[in-house]
Amino acid sequence: MTDTATSDDTATSDETTNGTGRPPDTATDTAADSITGRLGALSVLGRRSALDPVRSGNGYVTVVLFLLVAGLFAYTQADSPQVTFSNIVGIVSMVAPFLVVVRCADALAADRESGRVRGLLALPFSRRQVLVGTLLGRLAWFVAAAFGTLAVALAVFLARGGVVDPTASLVGFGLLCLQLTVYVGVAVGVSAAVATTARAVVVASAVWLVTQLFWTELPVLVSYLLNGFEGATRPEWADTFVALGPLAAFETLSTAFVQGGSVRPVLGGEPWSALVVLFVWFAAPVLFGLRRFERASL
């Protein structure tokens, strides 16, 4: 009887201490399981979002457009001594924002219209996970599309005897990925904030038009309105306002780290402060879209 009791006590002690001589850390185990579950959910949702452009066929159109721009420029300009491969990366960076806002504006709005988002939320996914997973998936797809396109353009460029500057090209590709991140955040944030695909496309396209084409003219337009439509002068705050736009921030980083030229400091700081501007342009639409998406009636 004594041996049996001792054996039972030992087994109970081993179970209590997990065989390690110390009590189990239930909180740590629960936190680890929670983190693993969240990462698994983001992986599933991200894979689904990345494959959506392929399933719909829109992804192939985007790749063809990328190839037309980069491939034709590489083929026709390879023999020019003033053109290096980093210039081709810059050309892709010019068209990437438009393709992103057009192809990502339906990322969540289309699911809301079709009712698919209710099916996702019926599974153990939160609305925040759906938004973040969608954002990561679309970003991964666009980065992969841009990388594949530039790889083909590089082969054409080298075959035509073009000059490649490895450091500038790699930095340029990094800035392209940063640009894709910002505009995917804008498009997915807008898509989460509105209820229909049509509205999402209109709003996202309007953001692209303002930031890429009209941002530098807005101070003059405001001055014109404040002067009663009689005359317009460039306000003193115009330079600061222009520097707060995403296009000026990208141009600052490109000039400083790809072209090697001198730039006017952004917000009174070093060129790196342009990253703060880009972070705000990425985070603000995502947080606004998340707030609207979590409160929306689906």
What residues does each domain of the chain span?
2-295
pTM of the full predicted structure? 0.82
| pLDDT tens for each residue of 90-129 | 899 989 999 999 888 888 998 888 888 888 888 888 899 9
Q: Give residue-wise pLDDT tens across range 23-71.
A: 555 555 565 556 777 787 888 888 988 888 888 888 888 889 999 999 9
CA geometry: angle 110, 112, 114, nearest 5 deg:
70
The better pLDDT of the pair 228, 280 is held by 280
Burial class (CB in 10 A: 0-12, 13-18, 19+), 262: exposed
Angle at CA of residue 185, ends 87 and 38, nearest 5°: 125
The confidence score (pLDDT) of residue 32 equals 56
Q: Which of 287, 89, 85, 115 is nearest to 186 (CA)?
A: 287
Residue 31 pLDDT: 53
More confident: 13 or 165:
165
CA torsion angle 58 64 69 70 (round to 10): 120
Structure tokens at 1: 């009887």
Tens digit of pLDDT for each residue in 175-191? 999 999 999 999 999 99
Contact 138, 223 (CB under 8 A): no
Those residues whose C-beta lies under 8 Å from the C-beta of residue 16, and which sit 6 or more positions away, are 23, 24
Closest by Cα among 140, 130, 115 to 53: 140
